[in-house]
Structure 1
Amino acid sequence: MRIGIIIGSTRPGRNGDRVARWVRDRTVEYADDTAEFDLVDLQDYQLPLLDEPVPALRAPGQQPHTRRWAERIGSYDAFIFVTPEYNTAPPASLTNAINFLHREWGGKPVAYVGYGIYGAVMAVQKLRAQAGVLRMADIGPQVALTLSEDFVNFTDFQPRELHTAAIHGLVDELLAWARALAPLRPALVS
């Protein structure tokens, strides 16, 4: 199983890269060797605001950046979205990246690690709605990291130990869903 850990923020001075590396490290030390966890940094893709003339639901993207993004996302069996919360929503960079594709997301489970004033709970709710439309399996566990308790001075990421157990539970469920959906995926995305 290949799991993509998507860093949803591209903002200068972001915390997302540190949070995502922590997630990857916890998953790698916990999961068995049948699972591979990769960081997927949206900064590496420099996706413009959606510039495809035809929606992804109707036709694959034609722009080189869209094809590169589709190839990467299509190679995964499941995802963990690492997202901050800006004004009760996920960052536009993450929403935009999701909207570039359709088929590549379908039939795959997704889990969430959010960080913000209240753990990005409202941002994740919006991502859950988007996942449903894309026919993703939205799993229940969420890791909610708060700026007041998991960051020193709201910027230096130092997660509480209780989140390690939450990551383990998230990984268990994500991998179970990924394995269960694997034989069904071709029918779900056709």
Structure 2
Amino acid sequence: MKIGIILGSIREGRNGEAVAKWTLDFAQKRQDGVEYELVDLKDYDLPLLGLAPTDAQAASIKAWSEKMASFDGYIIVTAEYNRAVPGALKNALDYLQPELHNKSVGFVAYGGLGGLAAIQSLRLTLAEQELADVRTMVTFSLMTDFENMSVFKPHAYHEGNATKMMDQVTSWAKALKTIR
């Protein structure tokens, strides 16, 4: 069983790197027999969907598609920008369709209100892409889980939600694998 932890912000100075590393570390400490891998969207040079890609971008699109197809489920780490999902993440997801079908997804978000609006946006998009999103989510507030809104210092109480969300993602991924 392989679960991809997708870092969905490409912004310079992003808080997402610390959040994604925390998520990966937390997942790996579970020792649940699942392989977790961090996938940084910044490593893929994806043009805006609809624009003709350069040869290098076409290779990136192919690599992105193949990487996403290799997972049984996902945990998406997302920022909330202007009450929505980051544009680069939405664009990257728009390149995918069959790679995601009948897989599970959970969310780890951060923002002024814990990234809830970004999660709501993702739930709609990913339902259309035939992903099964789990109920439990992990939401970090810029005001309480970051020092000066930039140094990640999560409160321990988030670990309960992280455990439950990861349990749901992995159990759903196992169940959905039987129909793929």
TM-score interval, smaller chain: over 0.9
Equivalence for 1:160:
155
Gapped runs of 5+ residues in structure 1?
54-61, 186-190
How far apart are residue 63 of structure 1 and its match? 2.7
2:49 counterpart of 1:50:
yes
The separation in 2 between residues aligned to 1:52 and 1:165, in whole angstroms, is: 43
- Give the drift of 1:24: 0.5
* 1:19 correspondence with 2:19: yes
Query: Which residue is 1:124 aligned to?
Result: 119
Contact kept? 1:150, 1:160, Cα under 8 Å: yes
* SS of aligned partner of 1:109: strand
Q: Report the counterpart of residue 179 of structure 1 in structure 2.
A: 174
Q: Distance in 1 between matches of 2:147 and 2:40?
A: 24
What is the alpha-carbon distance in structure 2 between the residues aligned to residue 64 and residue 29 of structure 1? 34
Separation in 1 of the partners of 2:31 and 2:166?
A: 7
Q: Where does residue 3 of structure 1 map in the other structure?
A: 3
Equivalent position to 1:94, from 89, 92, 95:
89
Using the alignment, how far apart are the partners of 1:23 and 1:65 within structure 2?
Answer: 25
1:10-62 alpha-carbon deviations (Å, 9 max, x no partner): 00000111100000101110141x20110000110121111467xxxxxxxx9
Please give the TM-score of this superposition, normalised by the length of structure 2: 0.94
SS in 2 for 1:4: strand
What residue is the counterpart of 1:84 in the other structure? 79
Question: Which residue number in structure 2 is paired with residue 135 of structure 1?
Answer: 130
In structure 2, how many angstroms separate the alpha carbons of the residues matched to 1:148 and 1:102? 36
Q: Pairwise mapping of residues 103-122 of structure 1 onto structure 2 (< 5 A)?
A: 103-122=98-117
Alignment partners' CA distance in 2, 1:89 and 1:72: 25
**Contact in 2 for aligned 1:115/1:144 (Cα 8 Å):** yes
Partner of 2:65: 70
Taking only the aligned residue pairs, the percentage that are identical comes to 41
Instruction: Say which is worse superposed, 42-51 or 74-83, in terms of deviation.
Output: 42-51
- Structure 2 gap segments, 5+ residues each: none
Query: Is structure 2 residue 141 aligned with structure 1 residue 146?
Result: yes
Give the Cα separation in 1 of the matches to 2:31 and 2:75.
14
Question: Are 2:44 and 2:61, in contact at CA under 8 Å, matched by a contact in 1?
Answer: no
Name the CA shift for 1:64/1:175 in 2 (closer, same or farther; >3 Å). same
CA distance in structure 1 between the aligned counterparts of 2:67 and 2:60, rounded to whole angstroms:
11
